[in-house]
Amino acid sequence: MRKGASGPLLILFKDILMIEHNKRWILQWFLPVLIILTLFYLFPLLDAIRLSFTNARIGLANVKFSLSSYEAVLTDPDLPVVLRNTVIFVIFTVFCQLTLGLLVGLLLETHLKGMGLLKLAMITAWVVPGVIAGITWNLLYSSASWGVINNTLELFGAEKISFMTNPSWALVATIIANVWRGTGFSGIMQYGALRGIDPQLYEAASIDGAGSFRRFWGITLPMLKPMLMINLVLITISTVNTYDAIWALTKGGPGISTTVLSLQTYKSTFLRLNLGQGAVYAVLMILSSTIFTAIYLRMMKEENRG
């Protein structure tokens, strides 16, 4: 009886050892990643939150914990304008990048001549540093003789647009520049998702008499929804954190008409040398990214339930 019972017990013991071995193997592989994430992401995040509760300034030796930085930022009359600029910049940029990315993905799926060149152009725009992109678009928007956009408008009999001096046009100009920079990333992601759709689904729909619009609405969009949501989260976080292209393009001006939270964080920290207030703006950026992401995740869960 004991000899017969030892077999299952031995198998169970081996399974337990195998599970423990797999756990150790997984831990060995993920430990370097956890260390890197802790040192370069979690620790700076916690340190920024800590600094937001201080009056820290670059060159100030006597640093005290207080709510003075929060009070200064939250009572700043410029904060509502900065928040408004951020919301407008994020919403319009994300919408345009997502929509244009989908259109570009559909265009690439047609396999027309020149699509390889289009892929190269999108990837190039995506990998261009933000400072270079900002300077390039500043030259394009210029009212001088080298300003391509205004000179083209004059050729068609239209008046020049003061992109860099008119507050409303300056914000539009920054959105256009950022959409140009990020559309390639969305297009490549959507193109990859489109390549994963089974062509037999379209063939079956065509046999049933479905037209192009019905195939797009009934097959393409439902199959793309998971990738669209992932793309939405990634480009939202990227847009909230964008400051380099705006700084090179407008420096947040005229006035503060193109100053967003990320740029205000840069100004407070590196121009005004106020680490405490810069950390407060960084915390506001974290909260805004978290809110947007939470909304998208909730939308994704509701979609999956439906």
Provide the pLDDT for residue 68.
93
Provide the pLDDT for residue 8.
56
Question: 7-11, 84-88, 230-234, 276-280 — which is least confidently predicted?
Answer: 7-11
- Distance CA(91)–CA(175), nearest Å, equals 10
Domains along the chain with CATH numbers: 68-305 (1.10.3720.10)
Name residue, tokens 């009886």.
1
Please confirm whether the linkage preceding 254 is cis (ω < 30° from 0). yes
Half-sphere exposure of residue 176: CA atoms within 13 angstroms, side-chain side: 15
Rounded to 10 deg, the angle between the 167-195 and 221-240 helix axes is 140
Provide the pLDDT for residue 92.
96
pLDDT digits (tens, 9 = 90+) for 75-93: 999 999 999 999 999 999 9
Tokens of 92: 């319009």
* CB-count exposure of residue 38 (10 Å: 0-12, 13-18, 19+): exposed
Instruction: Report the predicted TM-score, pTM, of the whole model to 2 decimal places.
Output: 0.85
3-state SS of the chain: helix, strand, coil percent to 5? 75, 0, 20
Who wins on pLDDT, 63 or 267? 267
- Per-residue pLDDT band at 37 (split at 50, 70, 90): confident
Q: Kindly tell me if the per-residue pLDDT of 144 is higher than 90.
A: no
Question: 2-11, 127-136, 250-259 — which is least confidently predicted?
Answer: 2-11
Provide the pLDDT for residue 229.
87
- Distance CA(74)–CA(76), nearest Å, equals 6
* 139 CB neighbour count, 10 Å cutoff: 13
- Per-residue pLDDT band at 1 (split at 50, 70, 90): very low
pLDDT digits (tens, 9 = 90+) for 172-208: 999 999 999 999 889 988 988 998 888 888 888 888 8
Q: Are 128 and 181 in contact (CB under 8 A)?
A: yes
Question: 10-14, 160-164, 253-257 — which is least confidently predicted?
Answer: 10-14
Provide the pLDDT for residue 201.
87
- Distance CA(84)–CA(86), nearest Å, equals 5
pLDDT average, residue stretch 258-280? 94
- Per-residue pLDDT band at 147 (split at 50, 70, 90): confident
- Distance CA(80)–CA(59), nearest Å, equals 29
End-to-end CA separation in angstroms for the chain: 55
Q: Are 260 and 246 in contact (CB under 8 A)?
A: yes
- Distance CA(276)–CA(286), nearest Å, equals 15
Provide the pLDDT for residue 302.
72
Half-sphere exposure of residue 90: CA atoms within 13 angstroms, side-chain side: 26
Who wins on pLDDT, 4 or 130? 130
